[in-house]
């Protein structure tokens, strides 16, 4: 076997065998195939596509390039959830305590933010003392005690994906459905939960811009998950507006707590209940309708908040935030973006709002950038709302910058509206 033959086969749309894909992934991970040749193969996949059979083989080869977690010591059904990302997407932080308080187990590894999308781990680290890097034994212990734990991706999970993902970023091959699928599903399969829920987003703030694109990716990932022996379900959800009112790390934790306290019943709450119900029904806890009712009761009874509180405490975080959100980091500077006339908001460019949050300091332009945990945006309106002159449309927060001229200009330009 050699890399030139494999490049030519994919270039000519000839299907690769399982052995060829295994050899390719192993050889590249071990440094035997140089980046320039792997780049050529990735571009061939990007241009010519991959069969579902090839995508399955690639996913499993990437999964098997490193460790596969052993969750057998958890005495119950384990369920994992993956979101393809978006602006203000804090769903995991609501869903995990809800599902855990209903009797399923949610062991989860998450990533950090890069670009206009935020990272769950960064959000958790805005809680004073919260540890996201734990030994596997402590991670499993917390899951067993409270029902969920979320830690940073660590160890030797999917080293092939780390190398290939980095190369895709540098070679313009990120937008290939089979490569996206293999990257996501190899990590989900390495985590090794019994059930996987996939939240595939579309819209201005998502990687998939249309429902049709998102559905194709969702179907492919669900098929790969099922053929790999997992109970798997994919749902397609809207990312044309930011998820929830708050964007930015500490601000998003504040909104999570307000939802768990039962104080906030916005569109984010509705999405979290939908996803929680799907996770619980996947875990065998009844019909979707019954599980939806169970999830809502977890909020109204306070059980989900108590589960979140106990998990924060076991991670070393300040659990007093569950009663007093003012203990979260707060910004030194703020700026209100106000309406200059009566208007109706037609749409919001979520990706541009994410970029505004990035300018304020809430995210990273480069992988090693530091984050201002206080920075972000509180939205006072959404698409379809009418606002009057001088109403506050959104408030910008930062400790990193005090000059809001660029951020406010871009924030206004992210809105499509007409005068009324």
For the chain, the average pLDDT equals: 93
pTM assigned to the model: 0.90
Residues 287 and 405 in one domain: no
Contacts of 72 (CB under 8 A, 6+ apart): none
Is 287 designated active site?
no
Active site residue 82: yes
Residue among 80, 89, 122, 161 flagged as catalytic: 161
Q: Which of 261, 295, 322 is the last residue of a domain?
A: 322
Q: What is the pLDDT of residue 212?
A: 94
Q: Is 168 one of the catalytic residues?
A: yes
Q: Identify the domain containing residue 352 by its residue range.
A: 330-419
pLDDT confidence of residue 207: 75
Catalytic residue among 183, 186, 276, 281: 183
Q: What is the 3 state secondary structure string of the chain?
A: CCHHHHHHHHHCCCCCCHHHHHHHHHHHHCCCCCHHHHHHHHHHHHHHCCCHHHHHHHHHHHHCCCCCCCCCCCCCCEEEEEECCCCCCCHHHHHHHHHHHCCCEEEEEECCCECCECCHHHHHCCCCCCCCCCCHHHHHHHHHHHCEEEEECCCCCCHHHHHHHHHHHHHCCCCCHHHHHHHHHHHHHHHCCCEEEEEEEECCCCCECCHHHHHHHHHHHHHHHHHCCCEEEEEEEECCCCCCCEECHHHHHHHHHHHHCCCCCCHHHHHHHHHHHHHHHHCCCCCHHHHHHHHHHHHHCCHHHHHHHHHHHHCCCCHHHHCCHHHCCCCCEEEEEECCCCEEEEEECHHHHHHHHHHHCCCCCCCCCCCCCCCEEEECCCCCCEECCCCEEEEEEECCCCCCHHHHHHHHHCEEEEEC
Res 209: pLDDT: 84
pLDDT the model gives residue 367? 65
Q: What is the structure's pLDDT at 156?
A: 87
Query: Are residues 410 and 353 in contact, defined by beta-carbon separation less than 8 angstroms?
Result: no
CATH code of the domain in which 369 resides:
3.90.1170.30
- Of 166, 160, 197, 167, the C-alpha closest to 182 is 160
The predicted structure's pLDDT at residue 118: 66
Contacts of 33 (CB under 8 A, 6+ apart): 3, 24, 27
Q: What pLDDT shows up at residue 63? A: 97
Domain count, the chain: 3
CATH of the domain at 115: 3.40.1030.10
**Same domain assignment for residues 91 and 144:** yes
pLDDT at 116: 57
326-330 contacts, C-beta under 8 A, 24 or more apart: 327/128, 328/126, 328/127, 328/250, 328/253, 328/254, 329/126, 329/128, 329/250, 329/373, 329/374, 330/250, 330/374
In a domain, 161, yes or no: no
- Do 269 and 361 share a domain, yes or no? no
Span 63-92, pLDDT tens digits: 999 999 999 999 999 999 998 877 888 999
Among residues 46, 63, 81, 82, the one annotated as catalytic is 82
Reference 83, options 353, 279, 291, 281; nearest CA is: 279
Residue 370 to residue 375: CA distance in whole angstroms: 12
Written as six digits, the tokens of 278 are 């799907």
Question: Would residue 279 count as lying in a domain?
Answer: yes
Domain shared by 310 and 337, yes or no? no
* 126 and 220 within one domain: yes
pLDDT at position 85, please? 72
Residues 317 and 361 in one domain: no
Catalytic residue among 63, 81, 108, 168: 168
Q: Please identify every stretch of the chain with a pLDDT value under 50, giving residue numbers as ranges.
A: none
């Amino acid at each position: 076997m050699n890399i030139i033959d494999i490049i030519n086969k994919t270039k000519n749309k000839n299907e690769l065998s399982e052995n060829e894909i295994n050899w390719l992934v192993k050889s590249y991970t071990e440094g035997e195939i140089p980046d320039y040749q792997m780049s050529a193969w990735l571009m061939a996949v990007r241009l010519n596509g991959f069969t579902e059979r090839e995508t399955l083989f690639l996913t499993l080869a990437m999964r098997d390039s490193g460790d596969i977690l052993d969750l057998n010591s958890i005495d119950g059904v384990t369920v994992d959830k993956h979101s393809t990302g978006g602006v203000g997407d804090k769903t995991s932080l609501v869903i995990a305590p809800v599902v855990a308080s209903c009797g399923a187990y949610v062991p989860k590894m998450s990533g950090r933010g890069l670009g206009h999308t935020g990272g769950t781990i960064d959000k958790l680290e805005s809680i004073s003392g919260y540890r996201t890097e734990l030994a596997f034994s402590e991670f499993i212990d917390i899951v067993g005690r409270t029902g969920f734990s979320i830690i940073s991706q660590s160890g030797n999970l999917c080293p092939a994906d780390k190398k290939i993902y980095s190369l895709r970023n540098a070679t313009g091959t990120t937008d290939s459905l089979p490569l996206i699928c293999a990257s996501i599903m190899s990590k989900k399969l390495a985590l090794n939960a019994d059930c996987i829920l996939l939240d595939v987003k579309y819209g201005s703030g998502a990687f998939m811009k249309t429902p049709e694109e998102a559905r194709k990716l969702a179907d492919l990932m669900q098929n790969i998950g099922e053929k790999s022996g997992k109970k798997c379900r994919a749902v397609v959800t809207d990312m044309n507006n930011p998820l929830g009112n708050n964007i930015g790390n500490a601000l998003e934790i504040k909104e999570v707590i307000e939802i768990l306290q039962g104080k906030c019943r916005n569109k984010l709450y509705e999405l979290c209940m939908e996803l929680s119900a799907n996770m619980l029904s996947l875990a065998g806890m009844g019909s979707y309708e019954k599980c939806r009712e169970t999830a809502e009761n977890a909020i109204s009874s306070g059980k989900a908040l108590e589960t979140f509180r106990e998990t924060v405490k076991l991670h070393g975080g300040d659990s007093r935030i569950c009663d007093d959100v003012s203990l979260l980091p707060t910004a030194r500077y703020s700026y209100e973006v106000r309406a200059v006339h009566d208007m109706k908001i037609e749409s919001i460019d979520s990706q541009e709002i994410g970029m505004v949050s990035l300018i304020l300091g809430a995210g990273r332009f480069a992988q090693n950038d530091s984050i201002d945990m206080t920075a972000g945006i509180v939205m006072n309106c959404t698409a379809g709302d009418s606002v009057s002159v001088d109403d506050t449309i959104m408030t910008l927060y930062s400790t990193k910058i005090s000059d809001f001229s660029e951020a406010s200009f871009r924030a206004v330009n992210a809105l499509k509206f007409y005068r009324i």
